[in-house]
Chains A and B, each alone.
Chain A
Amino acid sequence: MGRQESARGGCMVVKVSNLVKRYGDLIALDHFQLDVAQGEIFGLLGPNGSGKTTAINCILSLLNYDKGEIEVFGKKMTPSSYDIKRDIGIVMQNVAVIDELTVYENIDYFCGLYVPEKRLRKELVEEAIDFVGLGDFRKFYPKKLSGGLLRRLNIACGIAHKPKLIILDEPTVAVDPQSRNNILEGIVRLNQQGATVIYTSHYMEEVEQICTRIGIMDKGRIIALGTKEDLKGMIRVGEKITIEFLTGNPQDHVEWVQELPFIASVTTQNNNLLITTERGHNGLGSILSAVHDRGIHVGRVFCELPTLNDVFLEITGKELRDQ
């Protein structure tokens, strides 16, 4: 079977059609569809329990499924598709290393399952150590590493054999901000070196930061798909403006603000007035001008662009970050 072309023009690396996976009465994946093209960093974003990890495990043939088709590199994926597996690198949500082996030995052990040739493997292991910045820790045992360093080791074990497809399943859970940034930068570098990346997370900021295309998941389905700009373009909301009132009741100002042009909604929260503008319109200037004309004294004023959480909120009616 030849490689298929994606709608975006690149070769299809992963193609999932109508995937259904049930756990008893619970439908974990409900006719799940996914196309990932070569060279992408595809983000699978969704709250905990939305089916991201289940989808990944099905794609990797770890989990059996009730219905659907999965192709990786244009071939049907099965548990014994060793030629396909050879080109896949996986970084699991849980750290999967051997406590009794050092950093170097862990990477060498897992890399050795893909690369039997010793000399080549040595080079790859050294590259992976440099890549994740564990050069000073090569003789450390995992228990001596901090949470962030442990995550980096987990990544090194998954990518040392230079896979063409790298799947990272929530690799930054419980990681400090500095290590998180290192990990995210590393993923971008892997992609620049030619790897296609599937990145699952429930942190929308991470997905926004690195992913070229994003699929938002809920209840086992992809409910929105596209670039972050595409996704934000799907919703009604433009900007979110917050005005803090130092005196008076913000409720008194709801009515006149609502009459300003391009205002989508006005609500209050404590001393704050929360205003959303219509998509594609900048309302901050006109609002501030009106406030000034009325001689109202205000405190802090914030203006935010819509986030993927707003996209999720508008599509599902619930907050992504609250899940």
Chain B
Amino acid sequence: MFWHIFKYRLKSTVRDVQTIFWTLAFPIILVSFFAMAFSNLENISEYKTIKIGLVNTQQYQKNTVFQSLITAVSKDENPLFDVTMYDTQKAAAAALADKQISGFILEDDTLHLTIRSAGIDQTIMKEFLDWYLQTASSVNNIIAADPAAGMKISGIMSENITYIKDTNTGTNKPNNVFTYYYALIAMTCLYGAFMGTKEVTAVQANQSAQAARLNLAPVHKLKVFLSSLCAVTLIQYLSILLLIAYMAFVLKIDFGNQIGYILLASFAGCCAGVSFGAVVGAATKKGEGIKTGIIISASMTMSFLAGLMAAQMKYMATKSFPILAYINPANLIADAFYALYYYNTYDRYFLNVGLLFAFSLVFYLIVFLLMRGQQYESI
């Protein structure tokens, strides 16, 4: 009996175009758009060293402070400027005309910036020079007023102390874009709710004619429901795996190498999604449209708070309402993937996965309580 129902629920769900669109096709389309948008975003935000020219005038040679500053911003792995020295203004202008540099700095009585066209590089150069001139002016004013203070400032400024150092405690480099992808997987898991609610409707005699027929068969409706549930959870799980495979192999999104943990997190997410839909289906006696509306609005809100539309939202929500991090299934799913990717330890991952299974259990208990009666007040 179990396999008979399982087989037919599997068949009918796979053939349900609407369900398959929302649980498989739509996320794949959406993640493809995400990938396109984020690849451009990464190009835009990718920092490139600016090639500038410096005319080696007498005033520049005397200005040791500015020389030190130029040296400081021209070294390291990713320097701000790649500086080329020119003996004459004419040579620098020729290099600028030839687009070898984005602009050049000439110092006589003050600092001059020469550019050919406006752009991000030119704006950065201008901001850099403005900042230097303002700081130099402030220091000069302080020295003029109090020479002793000037000595202290000079001492502080000559010490190049860095108190904060960037380190990476995890296995991978942090990348904000991943928050979007993880939230999208979470949203897809929650879309399993469509299947969950459909299966409840299919066994509640007061909700569909098909269910009334099932209730008249010599089999307990909870047995039918269990078989159906296994079928749709399997389909939802396969949908998620297909989505992740598409992201990993086609879009080349790195999920790390912990396949077993990824599978477990996906399964936990599917269970939470399907069970959430089952609760909505069992608790709401309204029509299919109302149930769909509830599922879409709830899953979108949860996904939004998990960072689907704005990655910062995940952090803002967690910071403002810490409990949200633990009661929002979308956040738990996204965070499980996040923890798996960034952390060396599994505490956070297992907390998320454990909570997802706990929620699923609670949801199914509610469904059981709501559905255990086999007779209805009205049909």
Contact = CB atoms under 8 A, between A and B. Distances in A.
B216 interface: yes
Interface residues of B, number: 29
B24 to A, nearest CB: 16
B214 A80 contact: no
A265 interface: no
Given A63-B376, A158-B213, A100 B218 contact: no
Nearest to A90: B216
B312 to A, nearest CB: 42
A80 B220 contact: yes
A62 B216 contact: yes
Contacts of A93: 209
Given A62-B375, A80-B374, A109-B8, A114 B218 contact: yes
11 contacts: A60-B216, A62-B379, A79-B374, A79-B375, A82-B218, A90-B216, A92-B209, A92-B212, A93-B209, A96-B210, A113-B217
Interface residues of A, number: 35
Interface in A62-119: 62-64, 79-80, 82-83, 85-86, 88, 90, 92-101, 105, 108-110, 112-114, 116
B13 to A, nearest CB: 7
Contacts of A63: 375-379
Contact of B213 (A23, A82, A96, A116): A96
A113 B214 contact: yes
A116 B209 contact: no
B67 interface: no
Contacts of B224: 113
Contact of A85 (B15, B208, B216): B216
A283 to B, nearest CB: 48
A150 B209 CA distance: 14
A117 B379 CA distance: 32
Given A79-B375, A96-B208, A113-B4, 10 more contacts: A62-B212, A62-B215, A64-B375, A82-B218, A90-B216, A101-B11, A109-B5, A112-B4, A114-B218, A116-B4
Contacts, number: 87
B287 to A, nearest CB: 14
B379 A105 contact: no
Interface of A: 23, 57, 60-64, 79-80, 82-83, 85-86, 88, 90, 92-101, 105, 108-110, 112-114, 116, 157-158
Given A95-B209, A96-B209, A96-B210, A114 B375 contact: no
Nearest to B4: A112
B28 interface: no
Interface string B194-225: 00000000000100111011111111100010
A98 B379 contact: no
B205 A62 contact: yes
Contacts of A157: 213
B12 A113 contact: no
B370 to A, nearest CB: 16
Closest 5 CB pairs of A and B: A79-B374, A113-B217, A82-B218, A96-B209, A94-B209
A114 B219 CA distance: 8
B219 to A, nearest CB: 6
A206 B5 CA distance: 36
A85 B218 contact: yes
A110 B218 CA distance: 11
B42 interface: no
Nearest to A83: B218
Given A96-B210, A98-B210, A105-B11, A23 B378 contact: yes
B323 interface: no
Contacts of B1: 112-113, 116
A98 B4 CA distance: 15
Contacts of B208: 96
B11 A57 contact: no
A100 B12 CA distance: 5
B16 A92 contact: no
Nearest to A158: B213
Contacts of A97: 210
Nearest to A62: B205
Contacts of A60: 216
Nearest to B13: A100
Contact of A92 (B213, B218, B377): B213
Contacts of A112: 1, 4-5, 8
A89 B305 CA distance: 50
Contacts of B8: 98, 101, 105, 108-109, 112
A80 B212 CA distance: 14
Nearest to A141: B15
Which of B13, B220, B379 has the largest number of chain A CB atoms within 10 A?
B379
Contacts of B209: 92-96
A188 B15 CA distance: 37
A41 B135 CA distance: 103
Contacts of A109: 4-5, 8
B218 A57 contact: no
